[in-house]
Chain A
């Protein structure tokens, strides 16, 4: 009897496995961020526009904010810049930028200043991560990455890829509203 049931059971097993594995709506490159639900890594870096100033996320405690990691060497960051400007116009939340310098030779700070002057500045402030330490603390693998931090200072969402109006509408705005309700 079990000799006939065994192939059948094997078939069911494979079918379940494939249903998960070959599901087209599953993004195989998406990695769960261990940061979600955890306190946001703190940083105190110099301001990209004014090196004498310090940009820290400690002062944002109690506020919902968006943190965007970018760099002038990152083509996808150029792509999302217009969208970030549009989002900044809505004045829903402050957007804190981290300018990720990947190489000392590249004069990232100069280029970032130029970038912000020429293309417009969507950020409330931009921290300059000169050696990638803060970016590593945030578990960033490739810019641009955009995080959402709630009023309790916890990371509640992370989006990898250039920001789009659709993602902002669908993923960010509802979470911002929910975070504010929970915080109020």
Chain B
């Protein structure tokens, strides 16, 4: 009984969508398949990748990714196939381009801005007299 519960709990952790066509035989290809499908948004349920989604469209898209991998297509070609049809929005990590510069640059810009603010505050405070020293005089 105990083991059954553990087994069930482990099964529940398997959030990956199930496929009829199963895994690719070539391990390297299968790893590329995992990486690519995790980077593609399922447009039916927009917060899931096509690797995680059980939507019919996601299943069909996984099949197409598999076929393209077997046909020897490069990652760029596969992503190109998807963005030609569904736009840049399908990619969870859009390529670094002029128009995506804001997305990629914003974290660094914010870090820099925060750093400057902290630096100024610390410098200003360090110039202040220490107020926990006993006051001079009687």
**Known contacts A103-B56, A132-B57, A141-B43; A31 and B87 CB within 8 A of each other:** yes
The answer to whether B85 touches A34, judged by C-beta atoms less than 8 angstroms apart, is: yes
Does chain A have a CB within 8 A of B119? no
Bound: A35/B123 CA distance, A: 55
Q: Given A133-B64, A136-B61, A141-B43, check contact A32 B56 (CB 8 Å).
A: no
Q: Are B64's CB and A136's CB within 8 A?
A: yes
CA A128 – CA B48 in complex, angstroms?
28
The 0/1 profile, CB within 8 Å of B marked 1, for residues 125-151 of chain A is 000000111001111011000000000
In the complex, chain A residues whose CB is within 8 Å of the CB of B84: 34
Residue of B whose beta carbon sits closest to that of A141: B43
The interface size of chain B toward A, counting residues with CB under 8 Å, comes to 13
Closest chain B residue, CB of each to CB of A41? B85
Contact assessment for B85 and A132 in the assembled complex, using a CB-CB cutoff below 8 Å: no
CB of A139 within 8 A of CB of B86, answer yes
Whether a CB of chain A sits under 8 angstroms from the CB of B89 is yes
State which of B56, B60, B64, B85 has its C-beta within 8 Å of the C-beta of A139: B85
Among candidates B85, B87, B89, residue contacting A136 with C-beta atoms closer than 8 Å: B85
The answer to whether the Cβ of B44 comes within 8 Å of any Cβ in the partner chain is: yes
- CB-defined contacts of B87 to chain A, threshold 8 Å: 31-34, 139
**At the interface, is chain B mostly helix, strand, loop or mixed?**
helix
Also in contact, A102 and B56, with CB within 8 A (given A34-B84, A136-B64)? yes
CB distance from A53 to the nearest CB of B (A): 24
A136 with B60, Cβ < 8 A, contacts A34-B87, A141-B86 known: yes
**Interface residue? B83 (CB, 8 A):** yes
Give CA–CA (A133, B60) in the complex, Å. 8
Please name all residues of chain A whose beta carbon is closer than 8 Å to the beta carbon of B60 when the two chains form the complex.
131-133, 136
Q: Which of B13-61 contact A (CB under 8 A)?
A: 43-44, 56-57, 60-61
Chain A 35-50 interface mask (CB, 8 Å, partner B; 1/0)? 1000000000000000
Cα-based distance from A121 to B44 in the complex (angstroms): 28
How far apart sit A35 and B85, CA to CA, in the bound complex (Å)? Answer: 7
CB interface residues, A 61-99, toward B, < 8 Å: none
CB-CB under 8 A from A138, the residues of chain B are 85
Contact A34–B57 (Cβ < 8 Å): no
Q: Once bound together, how far apart are the Cα atoms of A131 and B57, in whole Å?
A: 10
A103 to B85, CA, bound (A): 22
Which residue from chain A places its CB closest to the CB of B57 in the assembled complex? A141
Q: What are 11 A-B interface contacts by the 8 Å CB criterion?
A: A31-B89, A34-B84, A102-B56, A103-B56, A131-B60, A132-B56, A136-B57, A139-B87, A141-B44, A141-B86, A142-B43
Q: Which residues of B contact A (CB under 8 A)?
A: 43-44, 56-57, 60-61, 64, 83-87, 89
Q: Would you list the 6 A-B pairs with minimal beta carbon distance, nearest first?
A: A102-B56, A141-B43, A139-B85, A132-B60, A34-B87, A139-B86
